[in-house]
């Protein structure tokens, strides 16, 4: 993607982006900065976070960084105290951090299940709750879920269930916060190569894999005035995989169920 400044869709706005050290989170933070937004960033990866912050500052915007685990409530509370001290308000929250591991449901221990719940649902609710006191009327919350929130996911049962929970929470928050003009939406990616998941994917209906910048473009849309009448919905950034409902493109271009 070009390093040129995007149209100033977020000029003068302030965003929090979680999981911003690499992949989708980094792409979103950089796209926001090129659109005129100051960004508060957090991640466990200190080196990656510093690289993202450098990119934000290279775009002429302020970056506030916190190296933390989003599951640690004390660290998250301190992060929001720093945000409140550095910026006059918050306009956008992007809940991007999350993760999982592959295992049959019967083999997931209670400890493993608790980790998945905390990483993919509890921390999202915590970030939203803490952001609400800073979020100005007319703000935007963008929750990055997954296509797995909307279909069966063998080997990822708890992860997918928590992503589905976030999608449902998003709908409820859209209603509860609508009177303040705060919009709450999801992005459900698929086939997006990142350092965490690699790039071993079959072709999509669009006959290509996605890119983290594809998700960043969707986040920019949902964070900006372009989506001023959009709330409580999920935007699929998946090359058509949700629509395909299990159909796969063969190497010769034909399709199989």
Is 7 part of a structural domain of the chain? Answer: no
Above 80 in pLDDT, residue 256?
no
Is 3 part of a structural domain of the chain? Answer: no
Is 6 part of a structural domain of the chain? Answer: no
What residue numbers bound the domain in which 117 lies? 14-256
Is 1 part of a structural domain of the chain? Answer: no
* pLDDT range class, residue 163, cuts 50, 70, 90: very high
**Total count of domains within the chain:** 1
Is 148 part of a structural domain of the chain? Answer: yes
pTM of the predicted structure, to 2 decimals: 0.93
Q: Please state, in angstroms and rounded to a whole number, the distance separating the CA atoms of residues 164 and 32.
A: 26
pLDDT digits (tens, 9 = 90+) for 99-118: 999 999 999 999 999 999 99
pLDDT at 4: 52
Is 2 part of a structural domain of the chain? Answer: no
Residue 20 belongs to a domain with what CATH number?
A: 3.40.50.720
Above 80 in pLDDT, residue 172?
yes
Above 50 in pLDDT, residue 2?
no
Is 135 part of a structural domain of the chain? Answer: yes
Is 4 part of a structural domain of the chain? Answer: no
Q: Which sequence positions are flagged as catalytic?
A: 159
pLDDT digits (tens, 9 = 90+) for 191-232: 898 766 656 667 788 988 899 999 999 999 999 999 999 999
- Give the orientation angle of helix 123-131 with respect to helix 157-176, to 10 degrees: 20
* Contacts with 27 (C-beta within 8 Å, 6 or more apart), sequence order: 211, 212, 213, 215, 216
- Give the orientation angle of helix 157-176 with respect to helix 110-117, to 10 degrees: 30
């Amino acid at each position: 993607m070009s390093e040129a400044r995007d149209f100033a869709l977020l000029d003068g706005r302030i965003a929090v982006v979680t999981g911003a050290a690499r992949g989708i989170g980094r792409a979103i933070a950089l796209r926001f900065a090129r659109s005129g937004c100051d960004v508060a960033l957090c991640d466990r990866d200190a080196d990656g976070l510093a690289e993202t912050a450098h990119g934000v500052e290279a775009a002429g915007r302020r970056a506030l960084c916190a190296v933390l685990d989003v599951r640690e409530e004390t660290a998250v509370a301190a992060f929001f105290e720093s945000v409140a001290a550095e910026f006059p308000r918050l306009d956008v929250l992007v809940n991007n951090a999350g993760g999982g591991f592959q295992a049959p449901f019967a083999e997931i221990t209670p400890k493993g299940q608790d980790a998945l719940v905390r990483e993919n649902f509890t921390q999202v609710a915590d970030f939203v709750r803490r952001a609400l006191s800073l979020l100005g009327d007319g703000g935007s919350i963008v929750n990055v879920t997954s296509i797995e929130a909307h279909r069966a996911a063998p080997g990822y049962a708890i992860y997918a269930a928590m992503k589905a929970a976030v999608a449902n929470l998003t709908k409820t928050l859209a209603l509860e916060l609508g009177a303040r003009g705060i919009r709450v939406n999801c992005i459900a990616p698929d086939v997006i190569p990142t350092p965490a998941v690699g790039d071993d994917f079959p072709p999509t209906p669009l006959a290509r894999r996605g890119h983290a910048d594809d998700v960043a473009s969707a986040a920019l849309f949902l964070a900006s005035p372009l989506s001023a009448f959009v709330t409580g919905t999920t935007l699929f950034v998946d090359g058509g995989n949700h629509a395909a409902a299990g159909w796969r493109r063969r190497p010769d271009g034909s399709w199989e169920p």
